[in-house]
Amino acid sequence: MIMAVATTGEKVKRLRRGKAWTQVQLAEHSNVAQSTIAQIESGARKQPHPATLGKLAEALRVEPAELLED
């Protein structure tokens, strides 16, 4: 059985949508630029800075490690 690998961007997007937030709303809650969130979610930014991951994790109420690629 092949397991799909969830990227950081896919995880951020899934958690954000689970809260019914737009990228703009996540940006407001996390103090991370919406353009950065868009780059992370699209995969254009593969390895976000640890501080950025920390801010996103706090806003999404998960541990930062939960946002890392599987």
70, pLDDT greater than 80: no
Give the CATH number of domain 8-67.
1.10.260.40
Q: Contact at 8 Å (CB) between 56 and 27?
A: no
Q: What phi and psi, each to the nearest 5 degrees, are found at residue 21?
A: -100, 150
pLDDT in tens, 4-22: 779 999 999 999 999 999 9
Identify the DSSP state of 27: H
Angle value at C-alpha 26, between 20 and 12, nearest 5 degrees: 80
- What is the rounded average pLDDT of the residues 40-59? 96
Domain ranges of the chain: 8-67
